[in-house]
Amino acid sequence: MSEIPLFSNLKRFGYESLQTLKLGIPVIIAQLLEVMMQFVDTVMAGHISSNDLAGLAIATALYHPVFLLMLGILFAVRVIISQLYGAGNSSEITANVIQGLWLSQALALISICILVYPEPVLNLMGYESEVIRVAGEYLRALCWGMPAVYAYIVLRTFNEGLSYTRPNMYISLLGLGINIIGNYTLMFGHFGFPALGAVGAGWSTSLVHWVMFAVLLAYCLKSTLFKSYRNYLSFKKPAWFYLREILRIGIPNGFSLTAEVGMFAMVSLMIGTFGASAMSGHQIAINIASVTYMVPLGLSIAISIRVGQAKGSGNSLDARYIGFAGIIFCIIVMTVTASILILVPEPIVGIYTYEENVHTLAVQLLYLAAIFQLSDGMQVGALGALRGLKDTRVPFLANVLAYCGIGLPLAYLLGFHFHIGPVGMWVGLITGLSIAGVMHCWRFQILTNRLLKIPLLEKPDDQNITKLTHYQ
């Protein structure tokens, strides 16, 4: 029973892969749309001035680590909701959403306190005064939208935990449209508004966040899909019983995301010491890899949802099969993207530049990115499966070991000590991702082996039934 021959029944494997894909496609599209918002901001700022572009880049570099940490924490709500949905516990779902909204506002306040006044830090780093001004004003404009974007994330995870992934896709499309119009109006000064430059992008983004939150909230309050959950909707004060569970799952998850992003950020900084051409080639390759990464990331979220729902219903065998089938499907999908990078790297890089030195290095790194695809597919798929089981602490420790303990030191040694340069540093990245992927798969194997040794006696109605007494 502990072994599941995934390919002994190709029909079953195909069915599970299709279900994961159907659930994941809207997530993938939504994430690509969100990437487009950032792309639009950068392109428009670049058409204003170098100071505006630099200020936006620096502000984004400060904002992203904070945002990703809070994002990872709030994503715990999705895992909890998916298991409760599998258990058929509507009242507990509503309770966790309410508590997630309370937590979102606390995290928004913390984020604002960290980011609202960056000038002292930026002055110490020696940036030009105009760049510092743009970065500071952009972040302060962005802070006005933080309560909305964090609350939106909670409602988004609520929908996703119930397998409703399309609303976020449609709302993200709306957000992109508003973002373009808002940037045009506020950055360049149209329709009677002053030209605010890159700072206008910050105000536009905040507006987008509030609109997206308002639309999703209205959808949750009006759609018949949520009728059974609205029966339990009432004002509740913050309850530590629920917040503790969200934080228990979410904090390691948030720091896990930060560890991965930190490895890439440190490698980027190290490659920057080799000069502008090396940095440009690296940036092109990493940008392409970041776009393709949206595919397995979306599938990972779908895997997390489906594993969580199976676990919540008491069917550990299904949870195990869905998880491993999802991991293999991620690898198969990324094999396709890897093949594209191997077959036509020159035309892809040609979209960005034809400068010989930059082009040559970017093509070399794209060949490595092809290997990167397989490692990334495995690790993010396995990580999604583990999140579906509410397992985040051990994966966090595994990520720290793989990225900070192995991948980053190896990148440094190969790049500087053995004088291989950026190519050697990318070998370090691949090694870190590969080790993380293997460890996550191993962890999922161990956990599901344990689950399968437990008699499947749990019924949906038995799940967390005592929790209601704690919700005062």
pLDDT for 424 equals: 94
Among 238, 268, 299, the domain-final residue is 238
Overall number of domains in the chain? 2
pLDDT for 7 equals 55
Q: Which amino acid is at 189?
A: G
Whole-number pLDDT of residue 46: 82
Report the pLDDT value the prediction gives residue 468, as an integer from 0 to 100. Answer: 35
Same domain, 234 and 262: no
Determine, yes or no, domain membership for 329: yes
What pLDDT is attached to residue 127? 80
Measured CA to CA in angstroms, residue 86 lies from 80, 166, 187, 383, 458 at distances of 10, 19, 47, 20, 12
In terms of domains, do 275 and 220 share one?
Answer: no
Domain enclosing residue 455, as ranges: 252-472
Q: Is residue 243 part of a domain?
A: no
Q: Based on the domain organization, do 305 and 334 belong to the same domain?
A: yes
CB 63 within 8 A of CB 211: no
Tell whether 95 and 222 lie within a shared domain: yes
Does residue 89 share a domain with residue 140? yes
- The model carries a pTM of 0.90
> How is residue 393 written in tokens?
């602490």
Q: How far apart are CA 82 and CA 162, in angstroms?
A: 6
Q: What is the pLDDT of residue 276?
A: 77
pLDDT at 266: 86
**According to the model, what pLDDT value does residue 463 have?**
40
Whether residue 419 lies inside any domain: the answer is: yes
Same domain, 285 and 213: no
Identify whether residues 202 and 232 lie together within a single domain.
yes
Note whether residue 20 is domain-resident: no
Please report whether residue 431 resides in a domain: yes
363 falls within a domain: yes
- C-alpha 298/C-alpha 390 separation (Å) is 18
What pLDDT does 363 receive? 93
Same domain flag for 222 and 336: no
pLDDT of 449 reads: 92
Separation between Cα atoms, residue 78 and residue 304, nearest integer Å? 9
How many angstroms separate the Cα of 204 from the Cα of each of 71, 142, 233? 21, 9, 32
Q: Is the dihedral of CA 61, 63, 66, 70 positive or negative?
A: negative
pLDDT of 2: 43
- Cα distance from N-terminal residue to C-terminal residue, the chain: 42
Alpha helices (H) along 75-127: 76-87, 90-115, 119-124
- Would 172 be classed as within a structural domain? yes
Q: Which residue shows structure tokens 């360049």? A: 188
Same domain? For 218 and 288 the reply is no
Based on the domain organization, do 360 and 270 belong to the same domain? yes
Burial of 472 (C-beta count, 10 Å sphere; 0-12/13-18/19+): exposed
Number of Cβ within 10 Å of residue 212's Cβ equals 24
Residues 101 and 200 in one domain: yes
Asked which of 183, 213, 238 is the last residue of a domain, the reply is: 238
Please name which of 250, 312, 288 lies closest in space to residue 376, comparing C-alpha atoms.
Answer: 288
Q: What is the pLDDT of residue 273?
A: 82
Amino acid at 344: V
| 17 domain-assigned | no
Distance separating alpha carbons of residues 42 and 38, to the nearest angstrom:
6
Sites in the chain below the pLDDT cut of 50? 1-3, 456-472
Asked which of 238, 264, 289 is the last residue of a domain, the reply is 238
**Together in a domain, 164 and 228:** yes
186 and 196 Cβ atoms separated by less than 8 Å? yes
Length of the chain counted residue by residue? 472
Residue 404 CA to its chain's centroid (Å): 19
